[in-house]
Structure 1
Amino acid sequence: MSIIMVTGGVRSGKSAFAEQLASENGTSVLYIATGVNTDIEMEERIALHRARRPEAWGLLETPLDIVSSAGEYENYEAVLFDCVSTWITNQLLAVPEEEWRAEVHTNDIIAQADAWLERLHAYKGCAILVSSETGLGGVAMSRLGRWFQDVLGTVNQRIAMQADEVYAVLSGIPLCLKGERR
């Protein structure tokens, strides 16, 4: 079992690098997609990811429940989870606006991430987790944006602490932050 985290800014090349890692870490790969088709732009982003993936890879679309779906990983040598930040976005958008930043919701999302990481430790293959890095930008101007940054920052730190390898991708160039450099 190994956990590899790939983080970086939006459009930094992190997904393409993670796809390369997945190809190197197993002949059978499960791609876990968290994106939800909400408009034409998102439809185009999803189509781009689909076009880059080998047809032989399995696909699991799970925008919300990542914990119970982790049992499906066992049939694959590698899983590529793309991406943590989109999963958190989906979680936050499911909360009514008047309850944004409520501690109960924040704690629930973090607890789900922790339970998922626990399930990953039982997985015998290689788990490659993609997430956006929010720590390089300014503080968001909206209440929802600040909540997103707070929750994602916490979850990213928890993943990075437990990961065997962590990469930051900047302008298409992966930088090894933790573990063996590839």
Structure 2
Amino acid sequence: MVVSLLQIPVRICGASSDMAGSGLFQAGSADTQTSATITELRVEDVSAAVTFILGGAASGKSAFAESLCFSSGKPKAYWATSQIFDDEMREKVAKHLAQRGADWTTHEEPFDAAKALGDLVEGQICLIDCATMWLSNHLLADHDLEAETETLLQAIDACRAEIVIVSNETGLGIVPENALARRFREAQGRLNIAIAARARTVVQVTAGLPLVLKGSLP
């Protein structure tokens, strides 16, 4: 069964009754403790080769990220993190492939960051679309999210190509009623913080309009 983490019923008035007993927000919980190795903001972590694009669903963030890659003039690679479970997703992937055109090298890899980024070379630009889907793949596979996040960050740091990363901003809404969705929201927030700390440029896209939060656009 495929679970959509972004379409789970929520309760408007704060936390649900199962939240307190779930262990998700208790001191010492692995899902709520922020690792210093992941979220510590240090100047030396900032990469001149990473641009981070945030936005809500259907906000125009992917189209904006693609436009940055096109305007770079560099050979373009695309790390597709989605898994194809049904016809709807298959049609969506086919549509995106057609929109990008033949001058992109596509790497379809739902889990392994090192595999997706390891063969890229200096002078290329790679679009990762998206970090949210990559994270949800690991969550639904019951992997260690903190360890996988650290692995992703290491792969980004080691990558020789310029990177543009797309991710969803999932923390602006009301508290999800579903425990899995709450865990996902917290993990997504930590991942976004970690990537933003490393990025040279961070952009929030709303209604197709970019707002630069850090650095500057070319």
Q: Is the 8 A contact 1:30 1:76 kept in 2?
A: no
Structure 1, unaligned runs of 5 or more: 96-104
Which deviates more from structure 2 when the two are superposed, residues 109-118 or residues 47-56? 109-118
1:91-127 residue CA offsets vs partner (Å, 9 max, x unmatched): 11112xxxxxxxxx4xx32332223222322333310
Matches of 1:163 and 1:44, distance apart in 2: 32
C-alpha deviation, 1:43, in angstroms: 1.9
C-alpha deviation, 1:75, in angstroms: 6.6
C-alpha deviation, 1:149, in angstroms: 0.4
C-alpha deviation, 1:23, in angstroms: 1.1
Instruction: Specify the code of the residue in structure 1 equivalent to 2:95.
Output: L
Residue 7 of structure 1 pairs with residue 43 of structure 2: no
- Change in CA separation of 1:168 and 1:145 when aligned onto 2, cut-off 3 Å: same
CA RMSD of aligned residues (A): 1.6
Could you list the structure 1 runs, at least 4 aligned residues long, displaced by more than 6 angstroms after superposition: none
Q: Is the 8 A contact 2:122 2:161 kept in 1?
A: no
- Give the corresponding residue for 1:72: 119
C-alpha deviation, 1:48, in angstroms: 2.4
Matches of 2:103 and 2:60, distance apart in 1: 22
- Change in CA separation of 1:76 and 1:91 when aligned onto 2, cut-off 3 Å: farther
Which deviates more from structure 2 when the two are superposed, residues 124-133 or residues 79-88? 124-133
Alignment of 1:46-61 (within 5 A): 46-61=93-108
Structure with the higher helix share, 1 or 2: 1
Matches of 1:136 and 1:48, distance apart in 2: 29
- Change in CA separation of 1:133 and 1:141 when aligned onto 2, cut-off 3 Å: same
- Give the corresponding residue for 2:193: 157
**TM-score, normalized by length of structure 1?**
0.87
Structure 2, unaligned runs of 5 or more: 1-47
Identity value in percent: 38
**TM-score, normalized by length of structure 2?**
0.73
- Give the corresponding residue for 1:25: 72
Aligned residues: 171
Which deviates more from structure 2 when the two are superposed, residues 71-80 or residues 127-136? 71-80
